[in-house]
Amino acid sequence: MTKRALITGITGQDGSYLAEFLLDQGYEVIGLMRRSATSNLERIAHIQERITLVSGDIGDQVSLMNVLRDYHPHEVYHLAAQTFVGASWSQAALTGETTALGVTRMLDSIRLIDPEIRFYQASSSEMFGRVRTVPQNEDTAFYPRSPYGVAKVYGHWITVNYRESHGIHASSGILFNHESPRRGLEFVTRKVTNAVARIKLGQQQELRIGSLEPKRDWGFAGDYVKAMWSMVQQESPGDFVIATGQTHSVRELCEYAFKLVDLNYEDHVVTDPAFIRPAEVDLLVGDASKANEVLGWKPSVSFHELIEMMVMADLKAIAAQGS
């Protein structure tokens, strides 16, 4: 029997890697897309003919129910959200509507249409915020530091609650930062690697960013989507931290990315207060031992390999645009 999966947020970084992975596993992939005047398909253009794109919105319960009724997925991967921490202060209520309540709308749709559908919730290390312990694992208390983090805490607990209240096979993946050449340009890794390429190719002089001190546990998105799938395949649902266990500062990220093209970051990086956040998450580092033991999951790409992959991809893309 061919398994069918619905991915919300299929046009995003994780949605595109997950769709590729599920297609390779022989799945039929349905992708939920918001109606939009402008096309946002660049990350899935190469697989567009192999997937079914359907229109719906996590702000609209009926549209979700219709999609579940019409396409009968066996698994739902809920990745759609307002995902940029930086924007969540200026659009706090919208972040709550999508990132928090969107989860309830999808879980209610599953409960009403077919409670046998298995569910994956994209939870986030931002829930740990002002961290209570180092490293963070599934038992670490949450202390979110942004409207985004607060909304993700809600999404996490409503997932646990529907598992416990309604017996839904609902899992929550607490993913630490995960990046790739497909990462949005607003996130710091891609902002840096893109700027490094543009500076190297003479198209830009400086890179304006916020604080250089925060530390993050950065892994490769292609590794992380495999963990999502693996959680959904378990006999019992659960919560899993997915992380590399290594942490690096934004400064180290800049230093390494510029060094890759024989430049010194201190000659180009300018701190701009516009990018300093009202409240910061200073340090994240995850302990993924449970995922390793139960799912057999471990990351395959190190921080340095990841940044090199991203710088090389940006150099190639920008050089191609110029030629």
Indicate which residues carry an active-site annotation: 124, 126, 148
Query: Closest CB to ligand GDP among 7 and 281?
Result: 281
Report the nearest approach of ligand GDP to the CB of residue 92 (Å). Answer: 15
Report the nearest approach of ligand GDP to the CB of residue 268 (Å). Answer: 13
Query: Closest CB to ligand GDP among 145 and 200?
Result: 145
Report the nearest approach of ligand GDP to the CB of residue 193 (Å). Answer: 11
Report the nearest approach of ligand GDP to the CB of residue 156 (Å). Answer: 15
CA distances from 110 to 18, 69, 124, 213 (A): 20, 9, 22, 42
The encoded tokens of residue 24 equal 């390779």
CA distances from 61 to 7, 123, 125, 160 (A): 16, 21, 27, 20
Q: What residue ranges bind ligand GDP (CB under 6 A)?
A: 85-86, 126, 177, 186-188, 191, 209-211, 214, 216, 250, 275, 277, 280-281
Query: Closest CB to ligand GDP among 27 and 303?
Result: 303
Query: Closest CB to ligand GDP among 26 and 278?
Result: 278
Report the nearest approach of ligand GDP to the CB of residue 17 (Å). Answer: 17
Report the nearest approach of ligand GDP to the CB of residue 174 (Å). Answer: 13
Query: Closest CB to ligand GDP among 277 and 290?
Result: 277
Query: Closest CB to ligand GDP among 64 and 242?
Result: 242
